Amino acid sequence: MASELRFVGRDAEIAVLRAAFDDSAGGRPRVVVVLGDLGVGKTRLVTEALRVVRPVVLAGACAPVVGEPLPYAPLIQALRRLESKPSGRKEIERFPELRRLMAGVTTAEPTAGASAAIGPQWRLYQAVLGLLQALGHARQVALIVDDLQWADQASLDLLAHLAINLTDERVALVVTSRTDHGQAGDAAHRMIGELGRLRQTVVIGLGPLTGAEAIRLAGVAGPALDPAQVETLAQRSGGNPLLAEQLADSTTGAFAIPPTVEALFTARIAALPPLARDLVHALAVAGGRADLDDLVVMTDRPLEQVEAAVRVAFDTHVLCPAGPGLAFRHAACAEVAYADALPSERRRLHERAMGVLAGRSDDASVLALARHTEMAHAETVAITVAAARVAEHRWAFADAGRWYGRAEALLDAGAVADHESLPDLRLAAARAYGLAGAYDQARAVLNRALVHAGSDTARADILWRLGAIDFVTGAGEAADSALAQARSLLSDGDEQVSIPVLAWSARVAAAWSRTDDAARFGAAAVTLAEAAGSVRWAGIAHNALGVAAALAGDLATATDHLQVALASAHEGGSVDDLVAAYVNLGNVLGMSGDPSGQFAVCEQGIEELGRCGVLRHSGSVLIANAVEALMLLGRLEDAYTRGAHGMAIAPDGLVKSPIAMRAAQAAACVGRLEQARAWADEAARLMLDRDAPATWRLAVAEAGTEVALWAGEPERALDVALANLTQAEAAGLGYPARLIALAWRALGDVVTAGGRPDGPAAALRALTERRHGEVSALEAAERGRADGHTDVGSWQRAEATIRGPVAQAYVHWRIAEATLRSETGVAAVSALRTAYASATNVGLVPLIAEVECTARWYRIDLKPSSAATDAAEPLPGLTAREREILDDVAAGCTNGEIAARHGISVKTASVHVSNILRKLGVPTRQDAARIAHRHGLPSAR
């Protein structure tokens, strides 16, 4: 039989894949996920598509190993293949991080000038992106990762970073994964789900070949078979190309289709002669890929006998050449072969593998040695800790935590270690688990450490770490309790522990609006940290002081503190410190009435977290702030796009509520009401958590009320607003002005629709009468409308006090509505046209519909007929920003040029162009340019 079968079928899938390659060749990166069962032809599909495209190919595969997979295995494979070419070696030489990874060096020393907050993981990510970009200058690049179901967590994180951060590189990222392996909730399945939600992703699902295609394939696979046998082979293969190939190549002629692929591989292995079978077992224990010399040692046979066994394994299609060594022809066969070996044989082979690796110091060997010692029940603390440190230096923090945990268990069981202490290992394990986002494991390790802590200082050192984890995971009461216990254990001379205890105490107090505690703890922490020269902890304390000052209304002082916190985070902090500084500084700028500054800070933070590879874990609140700023700037489609992205990557739990509520508001404003309701409901559900801050509950209530109003559900809006106003009053939180104004707006809508909400109206009036203080102009106008005596003057006074084009468009509508109650002349027509222009300029879809409905009722033409006006305001279905970008499209600008002109990212420019094409109902940029010419846009003239 030929070594590789001719490709059969899959015409539609090939077309989709080649279209993705075409897009990436034009500077529109694409992510392609190919899914299917073992043997269905995923890799062959990609190979076939590449025959025409001919890009630079970087290919690597994830391999099944017993124990933990090696970090970045597919990347290292791809780089080594690239290095074999002179041009590839030259490109790799430009990136020290890639050279170190390939050489197995575990140094984490930063490049000169690099921020301490931007760790080695980020530098590796940037190096990979830089390599892809450099290669893409000359030719399109295809980065292919096979068998994602076996990927290590570090590789998954890298792929997520690349998928999110590719902008205009000529790169296609292609991953294949088995659908018959693993569970729905495992890391690879979650990654595939996240990739599938990205706009640039194409998912291709491969099922069995059709009956006709299976018969064609069977005829190719078994050229000596008669037609009846071909049909039988096609039926028995079930349309699976791998099964068809294996069955057609059977030398017995009586090979029956096994019920599972595992049975097929088991039969293949069982048919091998004893020496070849021993070789296959040894290769499986070695991890599925090994050099011939290593296998000679592991099998304890002469080289000539091993070579003979290799030839048999090649001839029977169990093994295949792999660079200087050999590997399984089908990776899944390694698992079957490992299970086929007797337990005593496996242990003996692991022991021999230990001998092979002894003395090797490269990363891969250190990790493999630890795995073999574990499986041979011969672990030592030194080997296990070495593996943990390698994993940590490779930024594979989940692996590092597991190895540190193994070392802890060994010491706990009485193992001897010359240089390792049990308390230190527990703290190291907790740190690694925390960096990996595995907070439950980190908490469990710290609780064990707490039980065995030998002094008050040691207990305080553990308790503040527990408090930090509780805070990050939203367990406010537990965080308070842990930090209070830590403070009670401090004594004079404990400055090294006192600093983080006080800094975290200040941060938690500020988050829960206890401004006095935050100021007291923060000031003490700053004093101690500055005396000790600890930039990081001084920055954390300044962050808390900034939040406390903002809550007290001193926004200028708050800004000063938070700018110091951000600078400290860059100089000596962690990624978490960067997140907190960016989030809180953005909040304060928003509170100060500077949405442009707020968005700029958020954008900078989002970009930086993306480069660090932690945007999914830590960036949802920052994205929520960016959405809020975009709405205040009137960029509603951008806000919705950002909100949808934030919802796609946000982790579950309380921390998801800010992005859920902001995304819901943005979705409602652009008319995606079903989506808005779903996100608003999710935010409200998250507020049922007892640790939800009271200020968050009020913000979510405001968002839910606003979504219900834009969705035309005023009764629901009134219920939500009243329930939360009552709770706020009972909790001593006062009377939030914006929520009260929204409640009156909801009441006015109910009354206008003919409802008689006597009970809710009485409750709202009673609540507002109990309040002391000045009534806002907006609330006064809304209350007048609900009482049936609204006037133009009240809404004009409200217009002078509001922020943002969305609120202005709404007030312009109310002014027009009030004017129409008294007249239908020129003033009324002008007011309604102003409201319409305000709504269309920002794309406020529900309000556009309301204004158009009002115009139809009064028979008012919203678009003046003069040619001058038509030329000044073409295409009213587009927002102001979209009309500007359409002008650029008509001028022949690329997405990169559009981005540079408007100070936005290339990805955002692409989204704008896509929205313009959708709104105009045309498929291409050329068609959009022709419409621009007809409407006389400046560049089209």
Q: What is the pLDDT of residues 300-340, one digit of tens each?
A: 999 999 999 999 988 887 888 888 889 887 656 787 899 88
- The helix or strand, by DSSP H or E, that contains position 939, with its residue range, turns out to be none
User: Distance of CA 227 to CAs 219, 244, 247, 435, Å?
Assistant: 8, 15, 16, 61
* Residue-level pLDDT at 843: 93
What residue type is 243 in one-letter code?
Answer: L
User: 759 CB contacts (<8 Å, ≥6 apart)?
Assistant: none
Highest mean pLDDT among 189-198, 806-815, 850-859: 806-815
Q: pLDDT higher for 65 or 131?
A: 131
Name the 3-class secondary structure at 340. Answer: helix
Residue 117 DSSP code: T
Res. 471 pLDDT band, cuts 50 70 90: confident
Compute the distance between CA of residue 88 and CA of residue 180 in angstroms, rounded to an integer.
36
User: 660 CB contacts (<8 Å, ≥6 apart)?
Assistant: 647, 650, 679, 680, 682, 683, 686, 700
* Residue-level pLDDT at 497: 92
* Residue-level pLDDT at 930: 65
* Residue-level pLDDT at 202: 92
* Residue-level pLDDT at 547: 92
Res. 910 pLDDT band, cuts 50 70 90: confident
* Residue-level pLDDT at 261: 63
* Residue-level pLDDT at 745: 93
The residue assigned the tokens 């200087």 is 324
Report percent pLDDT > 70 for the chain: 87
Q: What sign results for the dihedral spanned by CA atoms 294, 299, 300, 304?
A: negative
The residue assigned the tokens 């700023």 is 629
Kindly report which listed range (105-114, 289-298, 621-630, 826-835) carries the lowest average pLDDT score: 105-114
Name the 3-class secondary structure at 391. Answer: helix
Taking alpha carbons only, the member of 839, 842, 750, 827 closest to residue 788 is: 750
Neighbours of 421 (CB within 10 A): 10
Res. 867 pLDDT band, cuts 50 70 90: very low
> Phi and psi of 290, rounded to 5°?
-160, 160
pLDDT in tens, 522-568: 999 999 999 999 999 999 999 999 999 998 889 999 999 999 999 99
* Residue-level pLDDT at 110: 44
Residue 613 has pLDDT above 90, yes or no: no
DSSP 505-564: HHHHHHHTT-HHHHHHHHHHHHHHHHHHT-HHHHHHHHHHHHHHHHHTT-HHHHHHHHHH
Residue 251 has pLDDT above 50, yes or no: no
Does residue 388 contact residue 404 with C-beta atoms inside 8 Å?
Answer: yes
Name the 3-class secondary structure at 261. Answer: helix
Compute the distance between CA of residue 644 and CA of residue 307 in angstroms, rounded to an integer.
57
* Residue-level pLDDT at 742: 93
Residue 866 has pLDDT above 50, yes or no: no
Long-range pairs for 621-625 at CB < 8 Å and ≥24 separation?
Answer: 621/579, 621/583, 621/655, 621/658, 621/659, 622/579, 622/582, 622/583, 622/586, 623/650, 623/659, 624/658, 624/659, 624/661, 624/662, 624/663, 625/583, 625/586, 625/587, 625/590, 625/598, 625/658, 625/662
Res. 180 pLDDT band, cuts 50 70 90: low
Q: pLDDT higher for 162 or 867?
A: 162
Angle, vertex CA 462, rays to CA 457 and CA 463, nearest 5: 95
pLDDT in tens, 329-386: 765 678 789 988 999 999 999 999 999 998 888 888 999 898 999 898 888 888 888 8
Compute the distance between CA of residue 183 and CA of residue 324 in angstroms, rounded to an integer.
34
Res. 172 pLDDT band, cuts 50 70 90: very high
Residue 818 has pLDDT above 70, yes or no: yes
Give the chain's count of helices (H) and strands (E): 49, 8
- Mean pLDDT throughout 223-241? 60
Compute the distance between CA of residue 744 and CA of residue 705 in angstroms, rounded to an integer.
11
* Residue-level pLDDT at 4: 47
- The helix or strand, by DSSP H or E, that contains position 36, with its residue range, turns out to be strand 30-36
Residue 865 has pLDDT above 60, yes or no: no
- Mean pLDDT throughout 694-703? 87
Q: Chain-wide mean pLDDT for the chain?
A: 84
* Residue-level pLDDT at 693: 73
Compute the distance between CA of residue 387 and CA of residue 396 in angstroms, rounded to an integer.
11
Kindly report which listed range (127-136, 480-489, 572-581) carries the lowest average pLDDT score: 572-581
Residue 78 has pLDDT above 80, yes or no: yes
Strand 325-328 with 289-290, pairing: antiparallel
Kindly report which listed range (526-540, 638-652, 729-743, 926-940) carries the lowest average pLDDT score: 926-940
Kindly report which listed range (95-99, 107-111, 729-733, 933-937) carries the lowest average pLDDT score: 107-111
Q: What sign results for the dihedral spanned by CA atoms 442, 444, 445, 450?
A: positive
pLDDT in tens, 130-159: 999 889 888 899 999 999 988 888 899 999
Name the 3-class secondary structure at 38. Answer: coil
Residue 617 has pLDDT above 70, yes or no: no
Compute the distance between CA of residue 216 and CA of residue 8 in angstroms, rounded to an integer.
7
* Residue-level pLDDT at 871: 41
Res. 220 pLDDT band, cuts 50 70 90: low
Given 3-state DSSP classes, what are the helix, strand and coil percentages for the chain, each rounded to the nearest 5?
A: 70, 5, 25
User: 783 CB contacts (<8 Å, ≥6 apart)?
Assistant: 744, 768
Residue 178: exposure state from Cβ atoms within 10 A (0-12, 13-18, ≥19): buried
Instruction: Give me 513's structure tokens.
Output: 């609006």
User: 462 CB contacts (<8 Å, ≥6 apart)?
Assistant: 427, 446, 449, 450, 453
Residue 723 has pLDDT above 80, yes or no: yes
User: Distance of CA 871 to CAs 848, 876, 888, 935, Å?
Assistant: 21, 11, 17, 7
Torsion from C-alpha of 757, 762, 763, 767, nearest 10 degrees: 140
- The helix or strand, by DSSP H or E, that contains position 326, with its residue range, turns out to be strand 325-328
- Mean pLDDT throughout 811-819? 92
Highest mean pLDDT among 1-5, 43-47, 120-124, 856-860: 43-47
Q: Residues 99-133, buried b or exposed e (16+ Cβ, 10 A)?
A: ebbbebebeeeeeeeeeebbbbbbbbbbbbbbbbb
User: Distance of CA 465 to CAs 51, 185, 618, 718, 905, Å?
Assistant: 54, 29, 18, 43, 38
Name the 3-class secondary structure at 670. Answer: coil
